[in-house]
Amino acid sequence: MAPENTVAAFARAIDDGAEGIELDVRLAHDGVPVVIHDASLRRTGLASGAIDQISSGELAGTDVGTWFNRARPELAREEFASEGVPTLERVFQLVIDPHFTIHVELKSDGNESDNLVRSVIELITRYRFQERVTVVSFDLDAIRQTKRLDSSIRTGALFAPRHGGGMGLRAERIVAMATDSGADEILLHRLIARPRLVNSALKNNLPVVVWTVDDLGWLQRARDLGVQALITNNPALLIAHRDLPQ
């Protein structure tokens, strides 16, 4: 395990044998897609400053690893303190295996959504990653926009208990929202990935991905439900047990 959304984390996942990675993307001040979850540096950069007000070059030189060393001393490494905020292009360059997949989550706030979509599509096209990247978002309008601009790019609709639907919506409604957005797959937080919802998605030809899964019990559950993939914080753990009888 390494600091989230960093080159170290992605390299570790690749070394551990993961078949893909999931990452979060925002636009830096210079319009470059950068890989970071939060809208500011307050948590991971231990500094003030909104991501959209800082250039990609400055972000690349910002320490986003020290916070992890402090929060997880048992996993701390000196080299993590040199980790900066990578550009999406830098991560694309890291992924050599043509079968390795990347889920790119669009983190857009307000009016920047259109520019973020266009910037990510341009990069996917330039690297010819249409078969390797799935663009995902809680913002279903961003999914629609992606499909309008390039229908060849795979998309996924994200749902969580309290974000973009979840426990308060019926399974059929969630699936309808995903389908109406033009999504090619549906990504469900583990707390709402219940049999009725998963079955409804599969009946509507929506492959299901379940995220934030660190419990080994999910390996057999995923097989039983027909889940396409699991997204985890600990790929080494799940990979080590995936072929064992449950």
Supply the pLDDT for residue 167: 54
* Helical (H) or strand (E) element with 130: none
How many Å apart are CA 92 and CA 86, to the nearest integer? 10
The two tokens of residue 142 are 């961003």
- Report yes or no: 238 and 219 within 8 Å, Cβ to Cβ: yes
Supply the pLDDT for residue 50: 94
Residues of the chain with pLDDT under 70: 110-111, 163-168, 244-246
* Helical (H) or strand (E) element with 149: helix 140-149
Supply the pLDDT for residue 72: 83
Q: CA nearest 231: which of 210, 216, 215?
A: 210
Tens-place pLDDT, residues 115-169 = 999 999 999 999 999 999 999 999 999 999 999 999 999 999 999 987 555 556 7
Our CA angle for 231, 182, 120, nearest 5°, is 65
- Report yes or no: 183 and 143 within 8 Å, Cβ to Cβ: yes
Supply the pLDDT for residue 82: 84
* Helical (H) or strand (E) element with 148: helix 140-149
- Report yes or no: 25 and 118 within 8 Å, Cβ to Cβ: no
Supply the pLDDT for residue 51: 95
How many Å apart are CA 50 and CA 73, to the nearest integer? 27
Supply the pLDDT for residue 246: 53
How many Å apart are CA 107 and CA 51, to the nearest integer? 11
Supply the pLDDT for residue 44: 87
Supply the pLDDT for residue 114: 92
Q: What is the edge-to-edge ordering of all strands in the sheet holding 154-159?
A: 33-35, 20-27, 101-106, 133-137, 154-159, 185-189, 208-211, 229-231
CA quadruple 1, 88, 99, 216: dihedral, nearest 10: 30
Q: Which domains does the chain have, with CATH numbers?
A: 1-107 (3.20.20.190), 136-246 (3.20.20.190)
- The label of the residue with tokens 């399974």 reads 171
Distance of CA 114 to the CA centre of its chain: 19
- Report yes or no: 120 and 142 within 8 Å, Cβ to Cβ: no
pTM across the whole model: 0.93
Give me the DSSP letters along 157-224: EEEBTBBSSBTTS-HHHHHHHHHHTT-SEEEEETTT--HHHHHHHHHTT--EEEES---THHHHHHHH
DSSP conformational letter for 68: H
Helix then strand count (H, E) for the chain reads: 10, 8
Supply the pLDDT for residue 73: 83
